[in-house]
Each structure stands twice: as C-alpha cells, then as structure tokens.
Amino acid sequence: MYKICDLHIHSKFSGGASKNIDIFKIAYNCNIKGIQLVGTGDCIHPLWLNELKCNLIETSSGIFYTPKVPDVNFILQTEVEAIWKNNSKIRKVHFIILFPNFEKVEESIELLSQFGNLAKEGRPKIYNSPEKLIFSLKSIDMDIEIIPAHIFTPYFGLFGDMSHFNTMEDALGTGINYINSIETGLSADPLMIRGISEFNKVSIISNSDSHSTNFHRLGREATMFDLNKLNYLNLIDSIRKNKIIKTYEFKPSQGKYYYDGHRAERHIDKKDYFCSPKLNIDICPFCRKKLTKGVLARVQELSDQKNPFKLNFQYIIPLLHLISIVLGGSEYDRANISIYQKLISQNGSEYAIWEGKSNFNGIPEDLKEAICKIRKGKFWFIPGHDAVYGKLQFED
C-alpha cells in the first residue's frame, strides 16, 4: 500500500508561518495535493497540542485523522532547534522529531521544558547538545524518531556551512547510533547526498517544511512509502530499514541555497550576485563581504565516493507555481487557482498528475506542454542562492 507522506510541516505558532493554519485546512489541502500522511507540525507547543487533541482521532496506533477529511492521516511531529557550544562556538541545528502517541509527547514536553521555552514558538530553541537531546528522548521511548532536518541548509543544517561539522559523529557524538535517516531539504537531492559515504547507512526522506497550507508550499517535497499496514511502528520501521519507494524532489538549483551568492537586498544598488562553487569565490565583488556558501559547495567539499546506490526519486514543481509561471501572475491569483482546481477535479490530485494522469480538457496548450516537460525532466533553473529561489527555464 503506497502512501505519499509529508512528515515535516509547521503550525501557525512557528516563526514566519501563516496565522490561518488549522487542522482542517492542512487535511483538506493535503487531500487535494495527494498527500495521504502528514506531520502535525509543532506538536510540543502547548496551544497547538491542545488543538491537536481536540481535533484528531486515533485510527490506528500512532496514526490520527480528522473526521472532516478522513482520507488524510496525521503523525505527531515537531521540529526543534538545538543550540549548544562546541569548540568554544555556538552551534544551531534543526531536528525533526516523530512521536508514537500523545502520552510520549507530553513526557517529552516535561523533559524539554528544562532546556527551553516551548510556549514561545512552534519550533522551540532547545539549549542542549544534539547528543544529550537524542539520549534524553530515547530514555522516554526508543520509538521516538529523531531526524536531522534539511541537512545542508547553510544556517541550521547539520552539515550546513555555518554549522562547521564534517562528520555526524563530530556533531552528534554517540547519538549517531540512533540516527537512521536524514532529510534532503529543498537545495539537495539523493544524488548529491549519496556521493558522501558518511550517509551510506541512513535512509533519505524529503518533506515540504511548509509554513503555510498554500498549494505551492504544502507537499512541495514528499516521500513515498510502501506500508502493509498504516501505523506508527510500520512507518518508523520503513524509515529505519530504508524501505522507501521514492522521494519527490525540487531540482536542487530551485532551492534557496543552492549556489554561493548574495541576494540583491544586501546591496545598496540592488545588484544580485551568485556563482558556481567551482570558481572558489568567497568574497562578494559588490560589497566585499563573505558570500553565503550554498549547498552545492558543501556537498562538493564532503563528497568522497561515486554513488554506490540505485536511486529512485522524481523531480517535480508545485503545480500552482508552474501555472503562475506559464500563465503569468502569482500563486494567489484567482484565475490561476481556478485552473489549478480544474486540473485537480479532472485528475484527482496534484500528485496523480505527476504520476501520469493527463486529463487536460480545457487547459491552455502552453500549460499542458509545460507539465509534460516537467515530467520528462526538460527544464532547469537559474540557480537559487542566499534565500532566493531559482528561476524556472524550459528546454526547447
């Protein structure tokens, strides 16, 4: 039984998140996207936890749903920011945490409250090392799963440029023994990750890290699992034993941190600058300050093997974003949303379209052509850099 899953999102209580997020909207829009299992986001925030308890019903062990949208299931999930001192420097790294039930969430809240203010923000700052964080959570329940988030993102990825770690053991100590999976993030894909032998023993998952329920954010990356029975332990077993069918990915150059660079807002004259890491340019030619090093540079620094794995992943683009590029306007224009809804009504879901459904009656020809080019991989991006997304280009 194949399930498309997005195991990392956020609630309205996270910084930069939409204040309109609620359980119904998450489930409703996931159903339209074709996401069958989604993380709750921010489940250790007290106000959001209360909403989860009031709106979710357990359908099988560790799996929940809302009666208003019964076809979409939830798993208890949060993200935390671990902050600690290592070699006299402050380190900050993000981790996804999955929980088997509400009881273990509450026990974890009691524990983590000793190291940070969980009520201040949906993604709380935990002032403890990852090693201690991992062992503390495992002391509550060995089935709690901890996953390094967006592994190469410059500021908060475990291997990001600002973290200054070159091995998982350096960052996690003996906690490395309990890390079974890593998350790609938008600026990396399995092909890049599998060039690093450090990751040979872990599985790779992809998620949206969405801060809204908008169609071009929610489910923009995802993971497909083959689950004989949908329950928490089966899902965790699939993660730990790398029983993953495939991941759905941004092309890394679409992500906000692919190339080295400085976005235009950093400069008085609003000039944008980016470059390939092959050029070995560290200083911005416009402002003479250090460039934000992208994911590609970090991957190239750490790569030490030819890919030994058979990879199964698929590049996609959020359909509503594609519509806005082809037809003009934005993802919030009513005309574009109307075409998006028509495509969904004719094909069942967005992921059904990326899996090959092609009922395009009444759809503009140039949009049909664009969808086919995305499916065939006939597209590329002017690279994203320094928090600026890449710009889509089509091959002739």
Distances (CA, A) of 353 to 6, 289, 368, 375: 17, 44, 11, 9
Give the pLDDT score at 244.
96
Average pLDDT of every residue of the chain: 96
* DSSP state at residue 265: G
Q: Which CATH architecture has domain 2-253?
A: Alpha-Beta Barrel (3.20)
Query: What is the tens place of the pLDDT at every residue in 272-321?
Result: 999 999 999 999 999 999 999 999 999 999 999 987 677 899 999 999 99
Task: Find the mean pLDDT for residues 332-361.
Answer: 97
Confidence band for 1, pLDDT divided at 50, 70 and 90 = confident
Residues 6 or more apart whose Cβ sits within 8 Å of residue 338? none
Question: If you write DSSP's letter for every residue of 292-315 in order, what string do you get?
Answer: B--HHHHHHHH--S---S---EEE
Task: Find the mean pLDDT for residues 155-171.
Answer: 94
Query: What is the tens place of the pLDDT at every residue in 98-124?
Result: 999 999 999 999 999 999 999 999 999
Phi, psi of 56 (to 5 degrees): -110, 145
C-alpha closest to that of 208 among 316, 306, 305 = 316
Q: Is the pLDDT of residue 252 over 90?
A: yes
Name the residue ranges covered by the structural domains of the chain.
Answer: 2-253, 323-394
Residues 6 or more apart whose Cβ sits within 8 Å of residue 132? 175
Query: What is the tens place of the pLDDT at every residue in 218-235?
Result: 999 999 999 989 999 999
Contact status, residue 218 vs residue 33, Cβ threshold 8 Å: yes
Give the pLDDT score at 306.
86
Distance between CA atoms of residues 188 and 255, nearest Å: 8
